[in-house]
Structure 1
Amino acid sequence: MPEYAGRLTRARDAMDRGGIDLLYLAPGANAQYLTGWRRNRPHFGNVNYPGGWIQGVFVGLRHGPILAVPRMVAEFDLDPQTSTSLDVRILPDGGDPAEFLEGVLREFEPRLGAIAIENRAWSEQAIALRTIRPDAEVRLASEVIAPLRMVKDADELRTMQTAADIVDRAMADIIDFLDPDSGQTELDVAYEIDRLMVKHGADGSSFVTNAWQMGPGEERPLAMKASRRPLERGNSLSFDFGSSLDGYCYDFGRSVYLGEPPDEYRRVHALVMQAAQVGIEALQDDQRTAEEVDALARQVIVAGGYGEHFRHRLGHGIGLDVHEPPYLDRGDTRRLVRGMCFTIEPSVFITGKFGARTEDVVVVG
């Protein structure tokens, strides 16, 4: 069970050091991390209610957390644990959200010199805040929350390990499901992966599941996702998917060959796996920066003659979001410490030939 009181204490200490008087967190990973307010499952489209932009958690140096939501959200979307563990303020139907926000802010006076808001808050939220408190300095909540979330505690690691186990079982099952040259499509495979993850205990997928082929002579764009294209022997099939569990995310990748792989594919696949192993072994406490780990693994593929086909960063932090800082990429000079979690995901994608990738989540040791 996450220890939210300790997280709040650490956040308030960071606020005090940084001269921040109030956090205003929109629905999302930061609010869940700090208070346990769970997000809804990801979905397409914009489901909203009048005054919906008011939704958020307010955390002061000594007051709060206060959760502000419209009446429809309070009645239909809040789980019982959230509604009983937080101080919930409800915007009534027909209520003025700006006046409501002003009333909430008054509870945190007299000190409201600097307010840190969610990095991806709605513009309505940010504009209303500036209108009501024009003299307040507006900062980003990531100044406070991001450093705390980078290092996972034992509860977080247990949840992510369970999410990893779910993905491993789904991958083992999907290999038996594959039936090339039968009319089975990439989308058939992607939807079966989603079904298997839920069957094995996931809340759902952590992002849109992808399974795509690359084959000889075709000019398929790398941006193309799982489609109605039938599986065909002689193609590589790459996977990118992850499970979500209690708000935490997993991210996973593999490539297989549909049929007997040619010698070059075997060599490239082995090269990708070697680069992954180098990256994994480099994740040691206080030994390297994020960009140094990227460079070490990348050099394996460069030395093998395929550097131009390793087209992305080595990996990224992961936790309540699929992509979190730090990033194993050029330019990220943050030093890695024990408890950080990263994907290690080298690849070689050659348009008109094949693709080979692997991806696992690794904890800095």
Structure 2
Amino acid sequence: MTDPALTWTPTTDDLRARLESLRSAAGDHGFDAVIVSPGADLRYFIGRSQGSHERLTALVAPAEADPFLVVPALERPGWTGSSAERLGIEMPTWEDHEDPYRLVADRLGPVSAIGVDDFMPAMHALSFENHLHLHVSPAAEAIRALRMRKGRQELAALAAVGAAIDRVHARIAEWLRPGRTESEVGDDIARAIVEEGHERPDFVIVASGPNGASPHHEQSKRVINAGEPVVIDIGGPAPSGYFSDSTRTYCIGEPADRDFATVHALVRKAQQAGIDAACAGSSAESVDIAARAVITEAGYGPYFITRVGHGIGLEVHEHPFEVRGNTTILEPGMVFSVEPGIYLPGRFGVRIEDIVAVSAEGPRLLNHSPRDWTLV
């Protein structure tokens, strides 16, 4: 039976509360309005995102007035029956011969401070500057504060898609065999990601032997040999829009490299240290520091070349990032990966990754597939 949390979507009341929080955050951060372009932020606030290429689509959320959604006239029919309509958001349109930035400027009137989301294209942000006669500022801090803390149903959606990716890892022995290429294994995994409840595969990393020393190697025509470590990092969104992301490092048969088992055990130990540090009241960087200390003390510090983790939700990488220098205080509802790794050039790599939710009771794992390297 399919977990209904895989297809959960926020209600109109949920979205209305998010928009009100955005309006309040705009004022709290000194903005007359925050403008949000298509992407995960737009989906978070109105339940849907639809890009319009070079044409402007944007949610405008004034601090002291109702939000409105500017859309190209040719795309307005696509919003019929959408969550934005159900919210009662006004949708002023513009035709190709018209200036959408002037439309926004005229509706806002005199303003002194405007914030835009992190991923607004420069062509749009600069056009707003020209028409509003001011320097637009990043609204990331205002937006991320709302999105970092997941609600109960968001946590359930993340747990459901985490269980779905666990089911894929449980099937790896069906496809990972000597003589097959990384791409062949990757194609099978991609199909299974959909079969197990995802909307689509977003990434499928299959990195065998020396390729495992490249953290973001995806897959190639390289033939996988017996005794080689294979890093498999996979994930994607459920129909809910919430992402999975989980990594295991396997070995086909007895490891050919005498150091593999030792390194794998060390990464497992480092990951557990990071998980244990993921407590409310601690800093985001403390998770990285705890995991990194284990690897550094064992003499492998130079080969741990990434941060230890990233937030996850409607994006596979979002705030908070678990990296040295990030002093963000962890709060219940924050969700992120803990994924230390050791990458030995020319030999192999080991990464183990799970998603962790911060709760008042301590860290809560959202992945539960076995972490050992043997294939079941």
CA spacing shift, 1:211–1:77, aligned 2, 3 Å = farther
Task: Describe the superposition over 1:213-258 as per-residue Cα deviations: whole angstroms up to 9, x where unpaired.
Answer: 124xx89755543111122112111011212022222211110012
The equivalent of 1:185 in structure 2 is: 181
* 1:269 is the counterpart of 2:298: no
CA spacing shift, 1:223–1:173, aligned 2, 3 Å = closer
Deviates more, 1:138-147 or 1:221-230: 221-230
The answer to whether the Cα contact below 8 Å between 2:178 and 2:226 also exists between their aligned partners in 1 is yes
- In 1, the alpha carbon distance for the partners of 2:57 and 2:103 equals 14
3-state DSSP of counterpart to 1:209: strand
Letter in 2 for 1:90: T
- In 1, the alpha carbon distance for the partners of 2:188 and 2:81 equals 29
Letter in 2 for 1:239: I
- In 1, the alpha carbon distance for the partners of 2:178 and 2:339 equals 26
The equivalent of 1:333 in structure 2 is: 327
Letter in 2 for 1:204: R
* 1:87 is the counterpart of 2:81: no
1:39 shift after superposition: 5.0
List alignment gaps of at least 5 residues for structure 2.
1-8, 360-376
Letter in 1 for 2:273: V
The answer to whether the Cα contact below 8 Å between 2:182 and 2:206 also exists between their aligned partners in 1 is yes
The answer to whether the Cα contact below 8 Å between 1:35 and 1:65 also exists between their aligned partners in 2 is no
Task: Describe the superposition over 1:18-41 as per-residue Cα deviations: whole angstroms up to 9, x where unpaired.
Answer: 22111111101111112212357x
- In 2, the alpha carbon distance for the partners of 1:76 and 1:26 equals 17
CA RMSD of aligned residues (A): 2.2
CA spacing shift, 1:78–1:235, aligned 2, 3 Å = farther
1:174 shift after superposition: 2.4
User: Which of 233, 239, 252 pairs up with 1:240?
Assistant: 233
Letter in 1 for 2:241: G
Letter in 2 for 1:69: V
The equivalent of 2:16 in structure 1 is: 5
CA spacing shift, 1:28–1:223, aligned 2, 3 Å = closer
The equivalent of 1:132 in structure 2 is: 131
List alignment gaps of at least 5 residues for structure 1.
41-46
1:149-228 matches, cutoff 5 A: 149-181=147-179, 184-205=180-201, 207-215=202-210, 224-228=217-221
* 1:16 is the counterpart of 2:19: no
1:211 shift after superposition: 0.8
CA spacing shift, 1:222–1:289, aligned 2, 3 Å = closer
TM-score normalised by the chain length of structure 2 = 0.85
The equivalent of 2:298 in structure 1 is: 304
The equivalent of 1:43 in structure 2 is: none
Task: Describe the superposition over 1:61-113 as per-residue Cα deviations: whole angstroms up to 9, x where unpaired.
Answer: 23332222223433357773344433222323x332x2x33223322335x22
Letter in 1 for 2:149: V
Letter in 2 for 1:229: R
- In 2, the alpha carbon distance for the partners of 1:306 and 1:39 equals 45
* 1:117 is the counterpart of 2:120: no
User: Which of 57, 61, 84 pairs up with 1:59?
Assistant: 61
Task: Describe the superposition over 1:246-296 as per-residue Cα deviations: whole angstroms up to 9, x where unpaired.
Answer: 22222111100122125521111111111111111111111x212222111
- In 2, the alpha carbon distance for the partners of 1:124 and 1:132 equals 12
- In 1, the alpha carbon distance for the partners of 2:352 and 2:169 equals 12
- In 1, the alpha carbon distance for the partners of 2:302 and 2:93 equals 54
1:33-112 matches, cutoff 5 A: 33-38=44-49, 48=53, 52-76=54-78, 80-85=82-87, 86-92=89-95, 94-96=96-98, 98=99, 100-110=100-110, 112=111
3-state DSSP of counterpart to 1:326: strand
Q: Give the total of aligned pairs.
A: 345
* 1:31 is the counterpart of 2:27: no
- In 2, the alpha carbon distance for the partners of 1:332 and 1:194 equals 34
The answer to whether the Cα contact below 8 Å between 2:214 and 2:349 also exists between their aligned partners in 1 is no
TM-score normalised by the chain length of structure 1 = 0.87
Percentage identity across aligned positions? 31
The answer to whether the Cα contact below 8 Å between 2:205 and 2:217 also exists between their aligned partners in 1 is no
* 1:280 is the counterpart of 2:291: no
- In 1, the alpha carbon distance for the partners of 2:145 and 2:27 equals 15
The answer to whether the Cα contact below 8 Å between 2:199 and 2:237 also exists between their aligned partners in 1 is yes
CA spacing shift, 1:327–1:300, aligned 2, 3 Å = same
3-state DSSP of counterpart to 1:244: coil
User: Which of 247, 253, 257 pairs up with 2:251?
Assistant: 257
User: Which of 335, 347, 353 pairs up with 2:347?
Assistant: 353
1:344 shift after superposition: 0.3
CA spacing shift, 1:345–1:222, aligned 2, 3 Å = closer
3-state DSSP of counterpart to 1:53: coil
